[in-house]
Amino acid sequence: MGRTIDAGKRGCEADSYNLTSPACVALLSIAINTVLAVSIGGTVPVILKSLKVDPAVASGPILTTITDMCGFFLLLGTASLMLPLLTG
């Protein structure tokens, strides 16, 4: 994960601090997705335990599905928000 963020940061720096490059879009969406995944990863097992469901069995598929969906929509959403800046 650190290497991915470092590569995205280098891509932003290579564009002469152009924060609207595709590398910066990817970096921003990965960073937000990481924070979201950590937050969800901490709360889902607690919620499952309160519902009397084994968190070790049920949290894996739930976390993977939520994290993948959020990452996909974060990338597309970030790109569509920054699209006017990318083309202009």
Q: Sign (positive/negative) of CA torsion 58, 64, 66, 67?
A: positive
- Domain tally for the chain? 1
Q: Residue 87 gets which letter from DSSP?
A: H
Report how far Cα 14 is from the mean position of its chain's Cα atoms.
22
Can you give the pLDDT of all 88 residues of the chain as single tens digits?
A: 566 566 666 655 555 556 667 777 888 888 899 999 999 999 999 999 999 999 988 888 999 999 999 999 999 998 888 888 767 6
pTM of the model: 0.71
> What is the extent of the structural domain holding 22?
2-87
Burial class (CB in 10 A: 0-12, 13-18, 19+), 21: buried
Of 12, 32, 7, 4, which Cα lies nearest the Cα of 86?
12
